[in-house]
Structure 1
Amino acid sequence: MKNKLIKFAFHWDECSLDEYSKIYAQFGGNTISNPTILNYVSTYYDVNTRYFIDRNECDGYDAAIATWDNVIAGDKKIARKHGINIPIAFDEIIIPQKPNQKKLILPFSTKILSANHTGAVINALTKLNSGREVCIVKPISGKSRQTLNRQLNQFLSKGGKIHSVNSVSTEYFLEIYSDLFFARRNKVAEIEQTSHFLSRVDNILFGSYLSFNDEPCAAQFITKTEDATTVYLDYINSGRNMDLKEFSIGTICMWENIKSAFAYAESVNKKLRFCFGKPTHDYKDRFCIRQKLMRTVA
């Protein structure tokens, strides 16, 4: 009955993962709406994943969505309910949607719909959404860039090194990250699900870690996915050696990864959307702009 109501009232049909994947390939979307990620979650967690397509009158399509337990896939509460603790950001959802076309009604709820859909979804609004925002990395220029490059060069001149996370094995990077995560928080990082995820989803790690006197000292866990027009990076978490106080290694590591992110996006001729998640720390405002998230009334 609910499927018939969704189809009749909102023009959405249930579809297969293959059909959803074709729409994603054409219109794009961020990491949490990426079909590879959705397929992993539906394979290993009982979240009742379903896919829907908004068909138009010309036998084409205008959008697609995936759902978990009858809410739009990517909801953090659903992830927690099912014990999903993989290194994926549950902060913002960008669904595959045809640009500059008709406005949609999304028949499922979410509180983290991206500002990218502003004006394109009839039943989405920023009001009554508890001020939810995400931090999106901005280009850094002028004196800030000079200061950051000076800090980086000082670190390198005194024994610091930069290492691509893709220059070492996944297992070794996870060992480095786990040790530095504990050093920063005195808390053990979740590694079992992370290792399983990385062994089955290829080429998702991005960025560099730092070493000083050949000992790893700072690392960020960053994921990367792409669509036809955009590179999507998500900053998941980080760790660092808290005893190394001579340098601002957290800032240096962050700056190196931001520089690399813009350089990579330029090399593949795509836009960059690098999300630092919720505005939980002051340092994010140094590198990011804030964008409001929308909730759907469904």
Structure 2
Amino acid sequence: MLNRFQGWRERGWQAVDADTYAHAWQRFGGSVATHPQVIERLAHLAGIPVRYLAWEQGADLKAAIATWGRDLALSKDVLKRHGKKGLFDLGNAELILPAADDAAAPLRHRGRYLSQLNEGRFSTLVAQTEQLAMARTPEELSKKFRYNQRRELRLLEEAGGVIRPVSEFSSVELSAIYCDLFLRRWGFVATGAERMAEVIELLREFLIGSVIFLNDAPIAIQLVYRVESPQWISVEYVNGGVDPQTRAFSPGSVLSFINTQSAWEQARSVNKPLRFSFGRADREYKERWCNPVPVFKV
């Protein structure tokens, strides 16, 4: 029975190797959660093998997907079914699957938060109720808003605040800072805390952003991953932590300003659009930074 369902899901698709998938991603683009190395490393950590499939027209590769059974790879549901719930955290990541603009490939594997960039590339997408929060361009933020962010940054620095890039810290240090500040901010343990240092090390080359210190103690950090496609840059802001006792300095807001502005500057320096996702559009603070964008599911 399972084989019959698999045959239906994969009808028209061909099983391929990881290199073919990577080639499709480098050619057509994707996002953090569909990047070949992100999938390969996290799937290996989970001990769940990946099945790669390609959609071809004639001899031309038009689309490729990485799968875990009947779901797209790295699915939270699959982790849960394997008794590995919360092994790693990519938030509600935007899924951009590698495909040609006109592929119209029939996607029959389950997935959520599929980007609107997949429209036309896949023919079976269904609009999802939730939306994703995508960072506005600097010009879309009001002058007053930008002035206030710069003012908060200045006040923090005048009080002795120091901004340090994540590259200055080891994965173990970043994990400890993140898990501590997350717990202080939210009152519960961060998803994936147990293996956080290992996950950060695996994805180290994609990690961007800064850590804010005050009086030699970390007070704000965000877990932000970035990958570059041929036509755009994808950034995933997974989650963050702040020291609530420093709320007067708005360190979380200051860090959002620093991290987003830095990402925009970098993207514009290589003349590529930036897709900086704050995850699901479900909190008021995201409305200040982001535009809600539609997403799809299968």
TM-score, length-scaled by structure 1: 0.89
Residues of 1 paired with 2:198 and 2:172: CA distance?
Answer: 11
Structure 1 partner of 2:138: 140
Q: Per the alignment, in what secondary structure is the counterpart of residue 269 of structure 1?
A: coil
Equivalent pair of 2:100/2:121 in contact (CA under 8 Å): no
Report the Cα distance in structure 2 between the residues aligned to 1:40 and 1:67, rounded to whole angstroms: 14
Task: Kindly provide the amino acid, as one letter, of the partner of residue 215 in structure 1.
Answer: A
Alignment partners' CA distance in 2, 1:283 and 1:290: 12
- Match of 2:153? 152
Q: 2:28 aligned with 1:30, yes or no?
A: no
Q: Provide the rounded CA distance (Å) in 1 between the counterparts of 2:159 and 2:20.
A: 54
- 2:159, 2:55 → 1: CA distance? 57
Measure the CA separation in 1 of the matches of 2:146 and 2:172. Answer: 33
Give RMSD over aligned pairs. Answer: 2.0
Matched with 1:98 is 100
Tell me if structure 1 keeps the 8 A contact 2:33–2:93. no
One-letter identity of the residue aligned with 1:143: K
Q: Which residue in 2 is equivalent to 1:262?
A: 264
| CA offset digits 1:182-219 (Å, max 9, x no partner) | 22123333433221223333412110111122221111
Q: How many residues align?
A: 289
> Per residue, is there more helix in 1 or in 2?
2
**Unaligned runs of at least 5 residues, structure 2:** none
AA in 1 matched with 2:147: Q
**Hey, what does 1:231 align to over in structure 2?**
233
C-alpha spacing 1:295/1:246, structure 2 compared with 1 (3 Å) = closer
Task: Tell me if the contact between 1:32 and 1:89 (Cα under 8 Å) persists in the aligned partners.
Answer: no
Measured in 2, the distance between the counterparts of 1:24 and 1:119 equals 17
- Cα displacement string for residues 11-64 of structure 1 (whole angstroms, at most 9, x for unaligned residues): 21111111111111111111111111111133232434211000112x111100
Q: What's the TM-score once normalised by structure 2's chain length?
A: 0.89
Paired letter, 2:81: K
Q: Are the counterparts in 2 of residues 211 and 218 from structure 1 also a CA contact under 8 Å?
A: yes
Identical aligned residues as a percent: 26
SS at 1:203 equivalent: helix
Q: Can you list the C-alpha shifts for 1:91-135, whole angstroms capped at 9, x where unaligned?
A: 331100112x24221132223221112243221121xx3x12111
Aligned-partner Cα distance in 2 for 1:144–1:197: 35
Alpha-carbon shift at residue 6 of structure 1 (Å): 5.3
Kindly tell me: are residues 30 and 208 of structure 1, through their superposed partners in 2, closer, same or farther at Cα, counting changes over 3 Å? same
